Amino acid sequence: MDGSYLIGGQRRTSAQTFQGIEAATGQALPGDFAVTTPEDLALACTLAEQAFDHFRETAPETRATFLETIATALEKRSEAIVARAMLESGLPQGRLNGELGRTTGQLRLFASVVREGDWAGVVIDKALPERAPLPRPDLRSRQIPVGPVAVFGASNFPLAFSVAGGDTASALAAGCPVVVKAHPAHPGTSLLVGQAIAEAVEQCSLPSGTFSLIQEPGYAMGSALVAHPAIKAVGFTGSRSGGLALMAVAAARAEPIPVYAEMSSINPVVLLPAALAARAPELGRAYVASLSLFAGQFCTNPGILIAQTGPDLDRFLAAACEALNAVPPQVMLTPGIASAYDRGIASLTENEGVQVLAAGADGTATCGGARLLVTDGNDFLADPSLTHEVFGPSSLIVRVRDTAQIAQILESLQGQLTATLHLDEADYPLAASLLPILERKAGRILANGWPTGVEVSRSMVHGGPFPATSDPRTTSVGAMAIHRFLRPVCYQAIPDAILPPALKASNPQNLPRREFD
C-alpha cells in the first residue's frame, strides 16, 4: 500500500504523514499515509466542479454501468479490503464480508434505480394555446443533480457507510461528483476502496474529477471541505457534535448548502403487556443479543427499553441479566470510542436514579464491557440526560407504572431513527394508540423485531426527526437516498431542439414521465 491519497483519480503524496491504528491493540500499523494538503483539497473540489456538467448529463445507462463497475472492482479487491478493515476496525471477518456484500449490493441497487428512471421526476404540462382567459405555455420539469457532494466516512461501517457507501453511491447515481473525506481510523481500507472507484472512473471514460479521496489523521480538514464553494451538499454519518459542526460551517457559507447528517439515536423498544406475558424470557435473550451485537456499535442499537413493572417484566429481566453476564468484552472501533463508552457508562452509574442490573466482564482500553441498567419512568422523565446516546454494548430499561406512562415516555423523546413495538393481538388497541406518537418521533417503526438491521431496499427509511438526522424528509439508506442530491427545474416554452434528452418529445432515454393535457 503506497499511502497516497487520490485527487481526480491521481495518486498524490505530501511530506506530512500518519499511520493507521490497530483497533484491538491501539498500536500503530506499519506504513505511512500522506496527509492531503490544503492545495490538493481545493484541487479535488475544483476538479469535481469541472466534471459536473459532463457527468450530470451522462445517460442513465452510463451511470448505471459505472456503479456496477465500481462493485466489480471492489469484489476483485475483497480479500485485501476485508483484511485491512479487520485491523483498522476490530470487526470480524464474517461481519466485514457481509458489509462488503452490502456495499456492492447498494451500488447495484442504485444502478437499477438509475435505469428505471423514476428519480428523474419528469412531468409535462402540455401547452394549451386556446385556453381562456390565458393560454398555458408548454411546461416541463425534471430533477437535476445539485452539484459536487462531500461525503464523510463513518467509523462504525468502514465499507457500507464510507468511501463507496450509500452516500457515495446515491450521489454518483444522481449525477454528482464526489469528494470523500476518509475516516481517520480507516486510512488503508479507504485507500483500497478509493482505488477501486478511481479505476472504475477510468474504465468508464468519465471525467477524472468525478471522484477524489482526501486523508488526514484528524477532523479539521472536514470544515475546509464543506466550506469550499464548489461543494453543494454533504453526506455525513457520525456523532451529533460532528454533524452539528458541519451544519454550522455549511450554514455560514456565502451560499449555504444542505448537510444530510445521520447523528444520534437511542431507538426505543416497547414491550407491550400481552407480548411480555407470552414470551418474556425469549425477549430478554433477544434483547441482549441485539444490544451487544458487534459491541453495540450500531446507530440503531436499542438504547432504551420500556416495559410495565410486574412479574412478567421480572421474568424478562432475569433472562436478560443471565444473557448479559455471559457477554465478553468486545473490541471497539477505536480506543477513543472505547474511552467515550466508558465515560457514558460512568455517567449513568453515577446517576442516583439508575441502577446496574447486570454487567459482563470489565472492558479495557480498547474493549467495551456490556452493561444493563434500569431506571423508573418518573426518574427518566425528570432527567433529560438519561436520553443521551451511549455508543456501545449497553442499554437502559425504563420501568413504567402503567401503559399511560409508556405514551408519556415516548412523547418525551427526541427524534429517533427507529422505534420498536413487541406486541401480540391483545396489544393491538394499545399499539394503535401509540403509533401516531411513533410516527412523529421515528423514521422506521418495527413490530416484533430488533432495530439492529437495516435492509437496503426501495422502501427503507434510515432517517428521522432531529437529532437522529439533520433533515427528517430524507433517508441515507435505500433507493430514496438519491433524492437528497437532486433538485427540480422547470422549462417553460423551451424549443424541443434544445431541451435536455430527458424532456424531449421523442424521450430518447425512455424515462417514465407524467403528462397532463
Does 324 lie in the same domain as 207?
no
Q: Please indicate whether residue 299 is annotated as part of the active site.
A: yes
The 8-class DSSP code of residue 469 comes to B
Place of cell 454518483: 172
How many domains does the chain fold into?
Answer: 2
Does 102 lie in the same domain as 251?
yes
Q: Give pLDDT tens digits for 346-398.
A: 999 999 999 999 999 999 999 999 999 999 999 999 999 999 999 999 999 99
> The CATH number of the domain where 301 resides is what?
3.40.309.10
What pTM, to 2 d.p., does this model score? 0.96
The answer to whether residue 512 sits within a structural domain is no
- How much is the pLDDT for 2? 81
Q: Which of 45, 176, 299, 367 is catalytic?
A: 299
Residue 29: all three cell numbers together: 500499523
CA separation for the pair 175, 114 (Å, rounded): 10
CB distance 341 to 332 below 8 Å: yes
Does 352 lie in the same domain as 218?
no
CA separation for the pair 224, 443 (Å, rounded): 31
CA separation for the pair 264, 364 (Å, rounded): 25
CA separation for the pair 114, 119 (Å, rounded): 7
CA separation for the pair 427, 307 (Å, rounded): 13
The answer to whether residue 456 sits within a structural domain is no
Does 368 lie in the same domain as 275?
yes
- DSSP labels, 371-420: EEEEEEHHHHHH-GGGGS---SSEEEEEEESSHHHHHHHHHH---EEEEE
Does 282 lie in the same domain as 229?
no
- How much is the pLDDT for 241? 95
The answer to whether residue 24 sits within a structural domain is no
Does 142 lie in the same domain as 212?
yes
CB distance 363 to 314 below 8 Å: no
pLDDT 10s per residue in the chain (517 long)?
Answer: 788 999 998 999 999 999 999 999 999 999 999 999 999 999 999 999 999 999 999 999 999 999 999 999 999 999 999 999 999 999 999 999 999 999 999 999 999 999 999 999 999 999 999 999 999 999 999 999 999 999 999 999 999 999 999 999 999 999 999 999 999 999 999 999 999 999 999 999 999 999 999 999 999 999 999 999 999 999 999 999 999 999 999 999 999 999 999 999 999 999 999 999 999 999 999 999 999 999 999 999 999 999 999 999 999 999 999 999 999 999 999 999 999 999 999 999 999 999 999 999 999 999 999 999 999 999 999 999 999 999 999 999 999 999 999 999 999 999 999 999 999 999 999 999 999 999 999 999 999 999 998 999 999 999 999 999 999 999 999 999 999 999 999 999 999 999 999 999 999 999 999 999 9
Write out the residue range of the structural domain in which residue 365 sits.
269-447
Does 73 lie in the same domain as 172?
yes
3-state secondary structure of 48: helix
Give the number of other Cβ atoms within 10 Å of residue 29's Cβ.
17
Residues counted in the chain: 517
The answer to whether residue 238 sits within a structural domain is yes
The 8-class DSSP code of residue 348 comes to H
Does 170 lie in the same domain as 63?
yes
The answer to whether residue 466 sits within a structural domain is no
The answer to whether residue 514 sits within a structural domain is no
Does 217 lie in the same domain as 157?
yes
The 8-class DSSP code of residue 295 comes to G
Give the number of other Cβ atoms within 10 Å of residue 18's Cβ.
17
Does 238 lie in the same domain as 208?
yes
Q: Which of 99, 262, 367, 389 is catalytic?
A: 262
> The CATH number of the domain where 483 resides is what?
3.40.605.10
- How much is the pLDDT for 388? 95
The answer to whether residue 158 sits within a structural domain is yes
Non-local (6+) Cβ contacts of 421 within 8 A are: 270, 272, 427, 431, 434, 438, 445, 446, 447, 448
Does 245 lie in the same domain as 384?
no
Q: Give pLDDT tens digits for 391-434.
A: 999 999 999 999 999 999 999 999 999 999 999 999 999 999 99
Question: Checking phi first, is residue 147 left (phi over 0); if not, alpha (psi -120 to 50) or beta?
Answer: left
- How much is the pLDDT for 453? 85
- DSSP labels, 168-222: HHHHHHHT--EEEE--TT-HHHHHHHHHHHHHHHHHTT--GGGEEEE--SSSHHH
HEC-encoded secondary structure of 417-444 = EEEEEECCHHHHHHHHHHHHHHHHHEEE
- How much is the pLDDT for 505? 97
Q: Strands, E, within 32-148: which ranges? A: 33-34, 122-125, 139-145
- How much is the pLDDT for 1? 74
CA separation for the pair 190, 77 (Å, rounded): 12
CA separation for the pair 147, 257 (Å, rounded): 11
The answer to whether residue 70 sits within a structural domain is yes
CB distance 450 to 288 below 8 Å: no
Does 209 lie in the same domain as 191?
yes
